[in-house]
Chains A and B, each alone.
Chain A
């Protein structure tokens, strides 16, 4: 199935590839590279900072900060971009405020937001939650006794530099790579802000020329580039210490008490929250507001709400389970065939949603039998989720397996534990924080999926992102923002429940 969707329309001939490497494409490619690098940088800085505060300190209001800081990632990036264009455009509220400052003009700010730098800012802000979640998980996973040992010899700063960060690096880089690939393959935001990137090219081939072969050929550079990034990552991480996660042994995490720093750090969090969440949201809601809009949005959203919830939950659970199983085989056995499979799966992640959607149609839309049934029901949506996001789930879980000291699983095997027992008694308890984290991210990804779902979802049924984007055509702005808000709430609710639950059950906390 994975391969099938990969080889859209059989093997494209050289003809389709001839035009791939032209000078103009190269400039598009450089733009993509710039956009992806800058947004990854921004997302990483914010993400590590917040991940550390949430995971390793006694910062107050964690229970509220944790879900709220996920919001920028839950808002569909196109809407998020639109909100920023509203804020910083010539007549925008923030633009008017900022242009009163010396050396800043309204024109300049507007030019900024409609540039690769503006688009990077938007994407960086939209994607930092990924780094934040992954960093938090990695920080918490670091064995407390190692840090305590370090503290005997040096100050907190040194322990952070020499123990904590190197230990958590594997996870953080993992998150960075995901952000990079996401920003690299992002289409909506750069298109909205008039930044010409490589994905626009692919989109144009599909949307204007209905030329799936050329479009698929154009994915080649994306895939090649992702291979390059991941190879670099492998080489770089190959030499890193693996055994960081042994907290399960004592179940402890070392906390850095903030003391007097509590207030400034909390303020910093709130500022980030305001900038990345409240300002854009307020601009969305205030742009036009009426109760009637919400009534209308609710009637439109109807089944979409239920579908998004149910299929998001099933999709996220499937993905997590898949990550749990495949991650194990990939990282623990490292046999050549599974390793290649793992690698090629990660490449799927770089393939645009439309290409996957068309591939799935070709594969499953066949007369009669099981495939006919699958294509006509919600099963195809789940398959879409799995194909698109399993690389993520497998990678997040695989990384976690690597951090479990080999000695633990070997000791169990020597004592005669089988695979199942090893899984249930050893890995699951150790990996629960990671499982929760993988589930949370998978859920957000699934619940927000548009590109593939719109191509395969059974007629007459839909998920909320589809409702939102189909309603967007010509609906009054207030109905659009109301629908967006409903989507946010629907995605956020189960996360709040889960996150509150997991902080109650201390050891589930990622």
Chain B
């Protein structure tokens, strides 16, 4: 047994080490770690409150933190959920897991991005974009609309992520809201007929377009930005600026009901909703778009210069649940 003595001692010391001291706040976030971690570190530095975070993987790689939040429902361990998309908080809302809080910092955030009851509040957004490979498509021939993807010219050259998961599912549900059931189904059917490649994640779409294994693909602004930063031969198009607009997806933050540190949770939410964090996220590699229209952005067009798709996120979440059976059928899952 002597063999294990050392390990037992190590274990005990580690257990002691992980015990929390002083003020802290527990945050679960599905915003990419690359971008959320620096923001949380900054908060920690500022207020002297220790941030204990759990980051999520992309949807397609583990079943992640929303499952954990739901499983922990009866004895919540998280104080704050920082969602990278506008739909997941609504899943928690539906299960009665959110503690309403109207942050004073959110006053200048446009109403459409806030829950009137204070359950969740949006900030910094991404939009859906088209990424194309410049070696395969000349500048002049670039598609300006997602509906062009049905053109036989792009047969077998379009990639998109599985519409059952992540932002792609939100995008498709929004199309159902905006276009109506029939036209949306027709669009999806057309994509399939045109040999669209359905892959595991937006990151996979980025990889395929970057390497020229697909000519054009649908993804989020941050994926597309990273492809540019990696120096790949790619270009970005904000689709349908003359038509239905492109989907805007803000981050959302909410407080978990019954979390262990409610006061610190409010402080963190205040910080996340501040103009400063929006500016930070706009300047970071992901170049997220501030919801406050006057905040300066340089790397991407500001939201005030884009035509957004006009949707109500709660309706999108509801629609998403409605169309799941159809999407399952469509993807063959």
Contacts and interface: CB of A to CB of B under 8 A. Distances in A.
A209 B4 CA distance: 43
A473 B7 contact: no
Interface stretch (A97-105, A189-197, A233-241, A266-274): A189-197
B55 A470 contact: yes
B57 A208 contact: no
B223 A91 contact: no
A207 B59 contact: yes
Interface residues of A, number: 63
Contacts of B248: none
B18 A204 contact: no
B213 to A, nearest CB: 5
Contacts of B169: 208
Nearest to A375: B77
A188 B204 CA distance: 13
A182 interface: no
Interface in A122-142: none
A472 B14 CA distance: 28
B67 A206 contact: yes
Interface string B19-63: 100000011100011110000000000000011111111111111
Contacts of A458: 18, 52
Contacts of A86: 211
B33 A196 contact: no
Given A378-B18, A459-B52, A459-B53, A91 B212 contact: yes
Interface string A43-79: 0000000000000000000000000000000000010
Given A192-B200, A208-B164, A470-B55, A314 B34 contact: no
Interface string B86-123: 00000100000000000000000000000000000000
Interface residue range, chain B: 35 or more
Contacts of B198: 194
A208 B165 contact: yes
A90 B213 contact: yes
Contact of A473 (B18, B53, B57, B78): B57
Interface in B223-239: 223, 226, 229-230
A376 B19 CA distance: 8
A61 to B, nearest CB: 31
B225 to A, nearest CB: 9
Contact of B53 (A194, A321, A460): A460
B58 A473 contact: yes
Contact of A455 (B19, B35, B68, B165): B68
Q: Give me the 3 closest cross-chain CB pairs, A-B, nearest first.
A: A460-B52, A459-B52, A470-B55
8 contacts: A91-B213, A208-B324, A361-B68, A377-B15, A461-B52, A471-B34, A472-B61, A474-B34
Interface of A: 24, 78, 86, 89-91, 110, 188, 191-192, 194, 196, 200-201, 203-204, 206-210, 212, 288, 310, 313-314, 317, 321, 354, 357-358, 361-362, 365-367, 372, 375-379, 382, 450-451, 454-455, 457-462, 466, 469-477
Interface of B: 3-4, 7, 10-11, 14-15, 18-19, 26-28, 32-35, 50-68, 70-72, 74-75, 77-78, 91, 164-165, 169, 198-200, 203-204, 208, 211-213, 222-223, 226, 229-230, 286, 324, 328, 332-333
